[in-house]
Chains A and B, each alone.
Chain A
Amino acid sequence: MTTVFLGIDVGSVTTKFVVIDDETDLVAHLYLRTSGKPVAVVQAALRELATRLPDLTELTGVGVTGSARQLIGAIVGADVVKNEITAHAVGAAHCKPDVQTVIEIGGQDSKVIILRDSIVTDFAMNTVCAAGTGSFLDQQSFRLNLAIEDFGRLALNSKTPVRIAGRCTVFAESDMIHKQQMGHQVEDILYGLCQALARNFLNNLCLGKELCPPIIFQGGVASNGGMVRAFEELLGTQVTVPPHHDVIGALGVALLARERYQATHRASAFKGWVVSEMCYETTSFECKGCSNLCEVVCVAQDGEIIGRWGSRCSKWDV
């Protein structure tokens, strides 16, 4: 019997799955679009993973991270529910133990994590605006009628990038449209956008932080070669994109599930692969108990309530 650990990273745009064995080797991984339906995508992925894993594999631990971690954690029966920052730091330190700086750009957020001796010493996450994250790049490539997969390749062909303001997506877009109407080449506009986003990231998020090499760049946006080059030019040093850079958060939380099992040897709370066949329903209501008017969410599995959250007090919590 081989024991394996599952890590799920339910992000705003994509959902990532990683299965590792007892030796932390990668057994399987999946990268799917969330498409606004986190529960359905997790169910589909579990169905797929169940067929991919060899017989006699026992799932000994499940970890969940990402913005829908609470919802998915309740549904699959997670042993570890962790925030994305810790998950990404653990994953990155596993891929490259001497890493000192992690740049992570996902669909809706971007973060920088500073590590020393594999331990997080400082971090920052985009606060007021999502300028420069994956969904903006997605939107722009859609507007230009390009597949997001071709974005990086085209941007790398740029010889004379244009200057675009990256502080705000609304202004960045109008800058891009202006340059396009002036007759600039698409690749120059694309690479100009990469430079603007990288500049924005370094000027805001990394303010007051010492970015020492080795530097790792991960998250979906690291697939974009233009972004990698823009960071390398601005930082004046090599930026490494690790293998499986798009599933590092899921890997990190799988490692945390393994860590929990090794420390406690307690059986997993995983509800089994049948999760993919069950019926889940979420309902919500506004609590009128006080002036906070909290929006309370209720999750039911085959009609039975398995989780309820969203209230500031613990009145409704299950």
Chain B
Amino acid sequence: MLDTLRKLAQRYHVPLLSLITDEHTGEAGLVTRVEAFVDMLERKAAGRGVKIA
């Protein structure tokens, strides 16, 4: 499933973030990944002169 998604994302240049969770009680890792993903989209858009509200 993930492989197919990865291939599709690559083909159509769609940003993709996969999150894997385990028994950790901390959510820090998840928060970091989601934050970084949002930053990536924002900085990408800013690089093209597009502003995300």
Q: Are A119 and B44 CB-contacts (below 8 A) given A125-B32, A127-B20, A128-B22?
A: yes
B15, B21, B22, B33: the one within 8 Å of A125 (CB): B33
A208 in contact (CB, < 8 A): yes
Instruction: Mark B24-35 against chain A: 1 for CB-CB distance below 8 A, else 0.
Output: 000011011101
CB distance from A96 to the nearest CB of B (A): 17
Residue of A nearest to B28 (CB): A67
Q: Is the CB of B32 within 8 A of A120?
A: no
A308 neighbours in B (Cβ, 8 Å): none
Residue from B3, B6, B15, B36 having most chain A Cβ neighbours under 10 A: B36
Measured CA separation A127–B28 after assembly (Å)? 11
- Which B1-45 residues have a C-beta within 8 angstroms of A? 3, 6, 15, 20-22, 28-29, 31-33, 35-36, 39-40, 43-44
A67, A85, A127: the one within 8 Å of B36 (CB): A85
CB distance from A213 to the nearest CB of B (A): 20
Chain B contact residues: over half helix, strand or loop, or mixed?
helix
Residue from A67, A83, A121 having most chain B Cβ neighbours under 10 A: A83
Q: Is the CB of B43 within 8 A of A127?
A: no
CB distance from A93 to the nearest CB of B (A): 10
Instruction: Mark A116-152 against chain B: 1 for CB-CB distance below 8 A, else 0.
Output: 0111111101011000000000000000000000000
Q: Are A117 and B47 CB-contacts (below 8 A) given A82-B39, A127-B20?
A: yes
Residue of A nearest to B32 (CB): A83
Measured CA separation A86–B33 after assembly (Å)? 10
Q: Is the CB of B22 within 8 A of A86?
A: no
Measured CA separation A127–B23 after assembly (Å)? 11
**Category for how many chain B residues contact A:** 10 to 19
- Which A95-126 residues have a C-beta within 8 angstroms of B? 109, 117-123, 125
Interface size on A, residues (CB 8 A): 18
Residue of A nearest to B41 (CB): A120
Residue of A nearest to B47 (CB): A119
A188 in contact (CB, < 8 A): no
B32 neighbours in A (Cβ, 8 Å): 83-85, 125
Q: Are A123 and B47 CB-contacts (below 8 A) given A67-B28, A128-B22, A208-B6?
A: no
Q: Is the CB of B20 within 8 A of A123?
A: no
A83, A120, A123: the one within 8 Å of B44 (CB): A120
Residue of B nearest to A117 (CB): B47
Binding site for A on B (CB under 8 A): 3, 6, 15, 20-22, 28-29, 31-33, 35-36, 39-40, 43-44, 47
List 7 interface pairs A-B (beta carbons < 8 Å), by A numbering.
A83-B31, A83-B36, A85-B32, A86-B40, A120-B43, A121-B44, A128-B20
Binding site for B on A (CB under 8 A): 67, 82-86, 109, 117-123, 125, 127-128, 208
With A86-B39, A125-B29 already in contact, 14 other A-B pairs whose C-beta atoms are closer than 8 Å: A83-B35, A85-B33, A85-B35, A86-B35, A86-B40, A119-B40, A120-B36, A120-B43, A121-B15, A122-B15, A127-B22, A128-B22, A208-B3, A208-B6
